[in-house]
Structure 1
Amino acid sequence: MRRDVFQAIADPTRREIIHLLADRSLSLNMVAEHFDVSRPAISKHVKILTECGLVIIRQQGRERHCQADLRQLKEVSEWVEHYRKFWNHKLDALEAFLTEDGKKKKKRSK
């Protein structure tokens, strides 16, 4: 099953794994050492991150090394940007309304 990036970042453990791997490649064991959950649980999280394209696994000898591929986060960034523009527009309109309303109240009180 192909998962999407939004499913991957919905979980705080997976977000922390992405954060750990953003700057460096780590073995699966090294990733697991950063968490208070079992190694199999971390393996499942890494599998989900791999399925959505946020983590690449490379076999190096007997160890599997994980590396972040953050290009998939562009989809999230674009989605957030759309709503940032929407809310900025709405908040700017509210500010204009409140400013105009305040001016009207000042005129009436004089």
Structure 2
Amino acid sequence: MDAVQVIAEPRRREILRLIWEDELSAGDIAARFEVTFGAVSQHLKVLRDTGLVTLRKDGTKRFYRADRQALGPLAEYLQAMWATKLDTLARLAEAAEEAERNEPPS
């Protein structure tokens, strides 16, 4: 499986976003999803097998971080995509806040 196929899966993209800046344990990553730990573990395995994340073991814990260098040109695409989503979320929040302020009292 190539990198494009791997990041085409939304949960894998979300995992990469979570570990883009900071290293997180597998348990911390899994806690952010509404699927089983096993399902998240499988996604982490695919990311690891394709070299898109680094793994550090500390005792029984496994810590993951996105490998931006391995992602190559896809790294810029992912960052731009996440920035666009954040901009959209901010605009929606501001619009909701404005609508609430303009709502007539009941």
Q: In structure 2, the residue corresponding to 1:58 is in which secondary structure?
A: strand
What residue is the counterpart of 1:87 in the other structure? none
Aligned pair in 2 of structure 1 residues 77, 55: CA closer, same or farther (>3 Å)?
Answer: closer
Contact 2:68 2:75 in 1 (8 A): no
Q: CA RMSD in A?
A: 1.8
Rounded Cα–Cα distance in structure 1 between residues aligned with 2:75 and 2:23? 23
2:8 to 10, 19, 22: 10
What displacement does 1:59 show?
0.8
> 1:57 is matched by which residue type in structure 2?
L
| Structure with the higher fraction of residues in helix conformation | 1
Fraction of identical pairs, as percent = 39
What displacement does 1:55 show?
0.8
Aligned pair in 2 of structure 1 residues 40, 69: CA closer, same or farther (>3 Å)?
Answer: same
Larger gyration radius, structure 1 or structure 2: 1
> 1:27 is matched by which residue type in structure 2?
S
Q: In structure 2, the residue corresponding to 1:36 is in which secondary structure?
A: coil
* TM-score, length-scaled by structure 2: 0.66
Rounded Cα–Cα distance in structure 2 between residues aligned with 1:49 and 1:12? 12
1:39 to 37, 58, 76: 37
Runs ≥4 in structure 1, deviation > 3 angstroms?
A: 75-78
